[in-house]
């Protein structure tokens, strides 16, 4: 007699909707990681997420938690407001690079500078995914996008913005790490980083940010199976993964 039991499956905090993301997109992996952490900590009723404007604009259709939608780039400020109103809740802001590093640069800098006790998950895929793959501030030099068909040039468009290093110069942020969605090992490290960021918020009441270098096979014009290699070759040199700032020790 044999018994079959499910060892691993879809986390309960993930709704039964099929995501609208392209095949191989890193958003789905980060959603799953978030749902797993929410399940493990059993915080589905005490966790509030902020959906950005960008590819992840419909994140509230996929995560079974309370979520708010903010104006483009204003996600961290809204998260800070929610956290001030409901300090007992775990509040995270989920943002892409167009939302956080372009239109919302002002907001993220001031929220980090005030040390608002929120967790920011910053998905960096080096292009504007939702609007059709235009150049973002985080686009790596030489990368071809629909608005830089000859590749991003340093003289014309400048260097990519390193948000983690920028925010690490401020006094208040307690924990800033850059992770990668690529090999299973790196994905596990990303999960640990997001977990630590939540812990920093819960225990230390401090600001933390996790940047995730996430694949966008569609607008990098590579097959999903080559996206991890793409990140390693082109992105990790500009955006070195690792802990950028950690004052929790």
Applying CB under 8 A, which residues contact another protein? 1-11, 14, 18-19, 21-29, 31-32, 35, 183-184, 187-188, 217, 223-225
Which of 23, 149 has the CB closer to another protein?
Answer: 23
Distance of closest approach, residue 113 Cβ to another protein, in angstroms: 34
Which of 20, 86 has the CB closer to another protein?
Answer: 20
Give all strands of the β-sheet with 90-96 in edge-to-edge order.
Answer: 66-69, 47-51, 90-96, 119-124, 208-213, 175-180, 242-246
Distance of closest approach, residue 199 Cβ to another protein, in angstroms: 22
Report the candidate in 246, 236, 242, 185 with the shortest Cα–Cα distance to residue 214: 236
**Inter-residue contact 73 to 53 (CB < 8 Å):** yes
**Inter-residue contact 111 to 76 (CB < 8 Å):** yes
Which of 188, 202 has the CB closer to another protein?
Answer: 188
Residues paired with 69 in a beta bridge = 51
Task: For residue 82, give the H/E element and its range.
Answer: helix 75-85
Distance of closest approach, residue 12 Cβ to another protein, in angstroms: 11
Distance of closest approach, residue 7 Cβ to another protein, in angstroms: 4
The number of beta carbons lying within 10 Å of the beta carbon of residue 9 is 7
Report the candidate in 22, 207, 246 with the shortest Cα–Cα distance to residue 125: 22
Structure tokens at 149: 């068909």
**Inter-residue contact 127 to 145 (CB < 8 Å):** yes
Which of 18, 150 has the CB closer to another protein?
Answer: 18
Distance of closest approach, residue 6 Cβ to another protein, in angstroms: 5
Which of 35, 200 has the CB closer to another protein?
Answer: 35
Report the candidate in 156, 134, 139, 129 with the shortest Cα–Cα distance to residue 27: 129
Distance of closest approach, residue 33 Cβ to another protein, in angstroms: 10
Which of 153, 183 has the CB closer to another protein?
Answer: 183
């Amino acid at each position: 007699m044999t018994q079959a039991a499910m060892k691993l499956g879809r986390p309960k905090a993930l709704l039964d909707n099929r995501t609208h993301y392209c095949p191989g997109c890193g958003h789905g992996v980060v959603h799953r990681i978030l749902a797993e952490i929410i399940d493990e900590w059993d915080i589905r009723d005490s966790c509030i997420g902020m959906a950005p404007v960008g590819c992840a604009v419909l994140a509230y259709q996929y995560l079974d938690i309370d979520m708010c939608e903010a104006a483009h780039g204003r996600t961290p400020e809204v998260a800070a407001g929610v956290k001030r109103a409901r300090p007992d809740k775990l509040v995270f802001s989920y943002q892409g690079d167009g939302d956080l590093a372009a239109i919302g640069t002002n907001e993220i800098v001031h929220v980090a500078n005030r040390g608002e006790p929120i967790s920011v998950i910053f998905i960096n895929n080096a292009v504007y995914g939702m609007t059709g793959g235009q150049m973002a501030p985080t686009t790596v030099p030489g990368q071809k996008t629909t608005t830089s068909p000859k590749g991003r040039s340093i003289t014309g468009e400048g260097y990519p913005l390193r948000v983690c290093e920028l925010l690490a110069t401020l006094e208040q942020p307690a924990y800033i790490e850059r992770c990668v969605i690529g090999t299973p090992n790196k994905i596990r490290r990303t999960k640990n980083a997001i977990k630590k960021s939540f812990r920093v918020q819960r225990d230390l009441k401090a600001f933390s940010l996790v940047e995730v270098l996430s694949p966008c096979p569609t607008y990098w014009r590579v097959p999903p199976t080559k996206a991890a290699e793409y990140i390693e070759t082109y992105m990790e040199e500009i955006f070195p993964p690792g802990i950028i700032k950690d004052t929790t020790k």
